[in-house]
Structure 1
């Protein structure tokens, strides 16, 4: 890294300009087995303990926001293999370059047609879409054109996994940040999908043994997303510290890092991030231990500490940004990319502030 904060021959800048993770970056992801780390061992996955996975995702996001996001979202979709018929899960994970991308919004329909489903719809924000071998989705069930409803009158929704050959990708991702995540939309027009490709994300319907598939889905989503924001925020704070150390206060010429209020803000930011990081992992480790013991984890606590951490990350990034100077506003500066990635990622629907 150059002294002014810019990066020469930065592969992550190159990926951002390309709008997708580069082939060697994708190859690295597959070589490390990151997309299979939550998939069942019986299906060819690593089935790592969740606390280990979340800490790794934080570290990956600290390297690059798009990289961390794609790994987290696609590995999270790989976790669904624990809810698929075992033979299908093995077939998917055995594919060279296996990668599941998808969307959770039920913006399509699955029409019952004998033993199959005909799926039609359009889904947004499939991170890692260009490298996906399969897409996951939620669809509203219909029979003979009528929406099927549950006992409360709500539309019945089912999750499906569909091979990429049956999916049309749409280059729709135009966000200011996370550009290399290539979180494009995708469309399916009447694809015939066997009933075996449908699944229910619930511990009672897990097809793989082990605590990983008893862990509550929403709690998993909160902690993995929070870890990504933490990784990006930590990266931003480190880069901001370098810029603050290189700047001088206007009018006095005193190094900005020696101005008491600035030094105190930087120290307080680091302390608050460390404290909330410790709280997140304490809650996660406790929840994991509970699931291992076949007891119920504290999902409310996991959601609360995750959102508290995200709020602290927001305040950390926004509080230090003004001290970084115009360098931080340059689009080709590493800190600017981290800033844009961070603020794009915080727009995820689950991360809305109270």
Structure 2
């Protein structure tokens, strides 16, 4: 069993200070332009962050999940959009553990490999010879402009008729598709995470071989290791919660100087004094509980033990962490003054990123 990785209070060992500075220095320009800057993207590829969850045997880094989560939180403290792209695209590259090794090796060997995608089953896949013909539109794929490959979910069809499982529900399958088969539609106009470029994608009848279809289940993993035994839903909860937490911690750091000025001019009974004390403390408590549950679940999976209950605990702790992050930001925001309403200010960008991140469908299922 590997040692538990530390979860630093700021960025610590999770992210080099010079890398955090590079991401943060470009954050405003990226936000205004609606896309990560060339320097940010180059850093992401240079550090190999998009491959942290991919199998080592086919070219990935295969980090322990707690280490990946700590990195994603630290990235979010530097820049929410960069963290969002890394998290979603590294998560899509995790699927390489369920692909045939030759396919995974080819995808990850692509120059500046980046796997984006959507979990919504808004496409159709018609059985066609030795493969599948894909058609459909998927609303959001973070990092879409830079993707070399996409993963999509589609309802299976045979001779134009949708297939159903034993319970009568439509049969849905996942596919990996080269970017040359995909049309990216520039639809992302959210108030936050603007530089994540989470645009829509469309596929108009592209054919892929049967090997490009995959099943996200430990029983179908093509690589051994705890990453592909860890339940996917809990992995998604953990990574997205960490990003949300990192954005909230960045907001708190930016807000506290303004809060201190307000407190200096208000009496001891000011409601703001309680918020200034409780918001950061409650966020830290939720964060500590989250990492404790994540470490416990990871240890069980590493040891080959059943992880259902531990995974459920990770999901619950992730939900509470996201709620604590939103509460902390909303409790402190009114004390930050009009600069926090300036769309060009750092604190406004971070506020917008936080409230966009917490709208992810995962938190409302």
TM-score bracket, normalised by the shorter chain, equals over 0.9
CA distance in 1, matches of 2:71, 2:268: 34
Matches of residues 1-354 of structure 1 in structure 2 within 5 Å?
10-245=25-260, 247-248=261-262, 254-255=264-265, 261-297=271-307, 298-352=310-364
1:35-65 CA-to-partner distances (Å, cap 9, x unmatched) read 0000000010000000010011000011111
Compute the displacement of 1:264 (Å). Answer: 3.1
CA distance in 2, matches of 1:229, 1:258: 32
CA distance in 2, matches of 1:211, 1:20: 34
Runs of at least 5 residues in structure 2 that lack an aligned partner in the other structure: 1-23
Alpha-carbon distance in 1 for matches of 2:272, 2:202: 50
Gaps of 5+ in 1: 1-8
- Contact kept, 8 Å, 1:244 with 1:256, in 2: the verdict is no
In structure 2, the CA distance between the partners of 1:255 and 1:161, relative to structure 1 (3 Å rule), is: same
1:269, distance to aligned residue in structure 2 (A): 1.2
* C-alpha separation in 1, matches of 2:199 and 2:118: 10
Shift of 1:123: 0.4
Counterpart residue number, 2:3:
none
Offset of residue 295 of structure 1: 1.1
State how far apart, in whole Å, the 1-side matches of 2:222 and 2:25 are. 43
* 1:118 match: secondary structure: strand
Q: Is the 8 A contact 2:78 2:250 kept in 1?
A: yes
Deviation of 1:259 after TM superposition, in Å, equals 6.7
Q: 2:262–2:335: 8 Å Cα contact kept in structure 1?
A: no
Encode CA deviations 1:198-237: one digit per residue, 9 max, x unaligned.
Answer: 1001000000111011000000011111101100000001
Find the aligned partners of 1:169 and 1:302 in 2 and give their Cα distance.
34
CA-atom RMSD, angstroms? 1.4
For 1:5, the equivalent position in structure 2 comes to none
TM-score by length of 1: 0.93
Contact map agreement 1:244 1:257 (CA 8 A) in 2: no
Within 1, Cα distance between the matches of 2:283 and 2:297?
21
Structure 1 stretch displaced more, 233-242 or 256-265? 256-265
* CA shift for structure 1 position 263: 3.2
Is contact 1:121–1:188 with CA below 8 Å preserved after alignment?
yes
When structure 1 is superposed on structure 2, of 268-277 and 199-208 the one drifting more is 268-277
Q: Is the 8 A contact 1:148 1:155 kept in 2?
A: yes
TM-score by length of 2: 0.91
Q: How far apart, CA to CA, are the structure 2 residues paired with 1:304 and 1:82?
A: 26
Task: Please tell me whether the aligned partners of residues 259 and 276 of structure 2 are also in contact (alpha carbons under 8 angstroms).
Answer: no
In 2, Cα distance between the equivalents of 1:256 and 1:150? 64
Displaced runs of 4 or more, over 3 A: 254-261
3-state SS, counterpart of residue 101 of structure 1: strand
Structure 1 257/87 Cα, relative in aligned 2: closer, same or farther at 3 Å?
A: farther
Conserved in 1, the CA contact under 8 Å of 2:259 and 2:332?
Answer: no
Aligned residues: 340
What's the CA shift for 1:352? 2.4
